[in-house]
């Protein structure tokens, strides 16, 4: 084992785990310095210093990761015991890029959120977030089913804590955290049970070995399929895919808005990676039912929603159908379509959530809670209203906005496999869902409901993020040829 450790001192191999090392060191540094600064200078001073350090470190991690991806010789280091379950291929690099990019966006948003006293917290709060991200990164880099279980549990326990984190609505958040914990525990049990069956059946917990065995005829193949079904159901639970979605609207609505933004943004990336890996083995056809149910339930209940976070929760359920379509029919083109849809969705959901987080009235109460509150945007910030309308039209898939191209690529990838029925269903529900997205535009510009417009202006950091993301959306609508540069 000592020889294997010395083997990792190879410079190229250290580069492949440089982001993990920096992230781990950052968490340790935050714990030590945060404890010291809290005792010496108070919680607010400690948080500002420690959290600024966290943002800087995370940016360094992303730069190192980008450097890693530019060096093709860094892929596939599996020639030692230390790297036997380590994976860093092209697919992992794309998911890792997305994860780190939107992690930095979330850290900046959270920094602005706490700096503007939107939530009272201590220095442990960003540490919990970074621990969850560490679990996501290790999940993406591993090929071991047991390590996947441990990393899922690491990020899940961090999320349970954040969901129940105290605010002025602590009783509702406690309920959300408890239900999230109960359903998350069920999902984890299913995953562990399925993994145990796979190990007893194949004698391995290495995914590459199991995938290789799946190509050969084996006895009692139904046992193999049952284990995969259990694992897929656990991932459906974690992702809130219908019919295992019933916890998601409640948790998204009752959790703190910044926590809801975290749930809807980051966990999808590693969990969809796992779903992508497992459906590549077998049983991809069982995804038809979750696609149909997600489209139906998400679309129907989004029409009834009046709370903005509830509306975005059901919208997220409906959008999972478009994530599942390229996973079911896997090819190089469908992978690019999936990555681009995930990128587009994350940009649009960021634009949708930031006004919810930062628009407040003069009495420090939230100004952007229900759908009817959107009339406030037109009164207090016409430019932000335009950006929000573009976001809604992008979700609706109105050409030539960014959301239109992302849905188009998904449909084209399904058409390449002659999945005409699936394309027809996706088109039909996409057309229906466009009505409730257009309802947002109607409320923005054609609603005459009188509302108090005494709203404090949005802070600088979220304002810059909304502006940049909106400009990116408009830019790619004008120059769609740059899509190829983005995906490669």
- 488 residues of the chain, pLDDT tens digit each: 444 544 544 555 566 677 777 788 878 877 887 777 766 655 555 555 556 666 666 666 666 655 555 444 444 444 444 456 777 778 888 898 888 889 888 988 888 888 777 777 777 788 888 899 999 989 998 888 999 999 999 999 999 988 887 655 567 777 788 888 888 889 999 999 999 988 888 888 888 888 887 777 767 778 888 888 899 999 999 998 988 888 898 889 888 888 899 999 999 999 999 999 888 887 677 888 899 999 999 999 988 888 889 999 999 999 999 999 998 888 888 898 999 999 999 999 999 999 888 888 766 667 778 888 778 787 778 888 889 889 999 898 888 888 888 899 899 998 988 888 999 999 999 999 888 888 888 888 876 655 555 667 788 888 899 999 988 888 877 776 666 555 56
Residue 78: per-residue pLDDT: 47
- Determine contact, residues 293/243, Cβ cutoff 8 Å: yes
Position 341 scores a pLDDT of: 92
Which tokens is 407 given?
């849905």
Q: Which of 78, 139, 429 is nearest to 266 (CA)?
A: 139
Contact by Cβ (8 Å): 344, 409: no
Cβ neighbours of residue 273 under 8 Å, at least 6 residues apart? 91, 92, 95, 139, 140
Residue among 186, 216, 31, 47 at smallest CA distance from 115: 47
Distance from C-alpha of 387 to C-alpha of 239, rounded to nearest angstrom: 28
H helices of 329-459, in order, are 332-358, 375-380, 382-396, 402-415, 420-445
Q: Which residues pair with 144 in a beta bridge?
A: 206
Beta-bridge mates of residue 307 = 370
pLDDT at 348: 93
Cα 321 → chain centroid: 15
Residue with tokens 């994530």: 323
Q: Judge whether 369 and 307 are in contact, CB under 8 Å.
A: yes
User: Which has the closest alpha carbon to 272: 322, 318, 311, 307?
Assistant: 322
- Burial label for 11, CB within 10 Å (0-12, 13-18, 19+), is exposed
Residues 425, 292 contacting (CB under 8 angstroms): yes
- Joined together, the tokens standing for residue 363 give 């009495």
CB 392 within 8 A of CB 437: yes
Q: How much is the pLDDT for 410? A: 92
In this predicted structure, what is the pLDDT of residue 13? Answer: 59
The phi and psi torsions of 110 (rounded to 5 degrees) equal -65, -40
Angstrom distance (rounded) from CA 224 to CA 420: 30
Phi–psi pair at 212, nearest 5 degrees = -65, -40
DSSP-assigned letter for residue 117: T
Residues recorded for the chain: 488
For residue 1, what pLDDT is reported? 46
| C-alpha to C-alpha distance for 148 and 324, rounded to whole angstroms | 20
**Rounded to the nearest 5°, which phi and psi values hold at 365?**
-95, 160
pTM as predicted? 0.89
């Amino acid at each position: 084992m000592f020889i294997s450790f010395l083997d990792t001192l190879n410079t190229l191999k250290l580069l492949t785990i440089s982001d993990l090392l920096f992230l781990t060191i950052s968490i340790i540094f935050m714990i030590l310095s945060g404890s010291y600064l809290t005792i010496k200078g108070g919680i607010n001073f400690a948080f500002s210093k420690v959290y600024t350090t966290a943002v800087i470190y995370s940016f360094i991690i992303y730069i190192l990761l980008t450097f890693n991806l530019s060096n093709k010789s860094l892929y596939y280091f599996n020639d030692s015991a230390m790297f036997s379950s380590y994976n860093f291929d092209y697919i992992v690099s794309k998911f890792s890029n997305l994860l780190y990019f939107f992690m930095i966006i979330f850290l900046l948003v959270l920094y602005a959120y706490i700096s503007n006293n939107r939530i009272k917290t201590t220095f442990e709060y960003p540490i919990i977030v970074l621990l969850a991200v560490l679990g996501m990164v290790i999940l993406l880099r591993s090929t071991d089913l047991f390590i996947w279980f441990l990393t899922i549990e690491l990020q899940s326990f961090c999320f349970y804590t954040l969901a129940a984190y105290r605010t002025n609505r602590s009783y509702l958040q406690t309920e959300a955290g408890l239900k999230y914990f109960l359903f998350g525990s069920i999902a984890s049990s299913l995953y562990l049970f399925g993994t145990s069956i796979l190990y007893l059946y194949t004698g391995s917990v290495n995914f590459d070995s199991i995938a290789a065995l799946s190509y050969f005829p084996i006895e009692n193949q139904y046992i193999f399929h049952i284990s995969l079904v259990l694992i897929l159901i656990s991932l459906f639970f974690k992702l809130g895919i219908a019919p295992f979605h019933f916890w998601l609207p409640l948790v998204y609505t009752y959790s703190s808005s910044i926590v809801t933004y975290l749930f809807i943004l980051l966990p999808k990336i590693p969990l969809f990676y796992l779903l992508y890996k497992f459906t590549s083995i077998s049983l991809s056809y069982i995804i038809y039912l979750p696609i149909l149910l997600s489209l139906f339930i998400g679309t129907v209940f989004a029409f009834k929603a009046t709370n903005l976070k509830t509306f975005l929760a059901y919208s997220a359920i409906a959008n999972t159908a478009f994530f599942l379509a390229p996973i079911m029919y896997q090819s190089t083109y469908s992978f690019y379509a999936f990555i681009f849809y995930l990128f587009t969705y994350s940009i649009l959901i960021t634009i949708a959530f930031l006004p919810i987080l930062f628009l407040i009235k003069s009495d420090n109460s939230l100004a952007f809670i229900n759908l009817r509150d959107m009339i406030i945007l037109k009164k207090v910030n016409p430019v932000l209203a335009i950006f929000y309308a573009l976001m809604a039209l992008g979700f609706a898939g109105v050409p030539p906005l960014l959301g239109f191209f992302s849905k188009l690529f998904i449909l084209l990838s399904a058409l390449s496999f002659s999945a005409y029925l699936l394309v027809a269903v996706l088109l039909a529900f996409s057309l229906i869902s466009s009505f409730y997205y257009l309802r947002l535009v109607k409320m923005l510009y054609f609603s005459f409901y009188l509302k108090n417009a005494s709203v404090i202006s949005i802070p600088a950091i979220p304002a810059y993020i909304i502006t940049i993301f909106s400009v990116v959306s408009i830019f790619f609508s004008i120059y769609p040829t740059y899509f190829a540069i983005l995906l490669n």
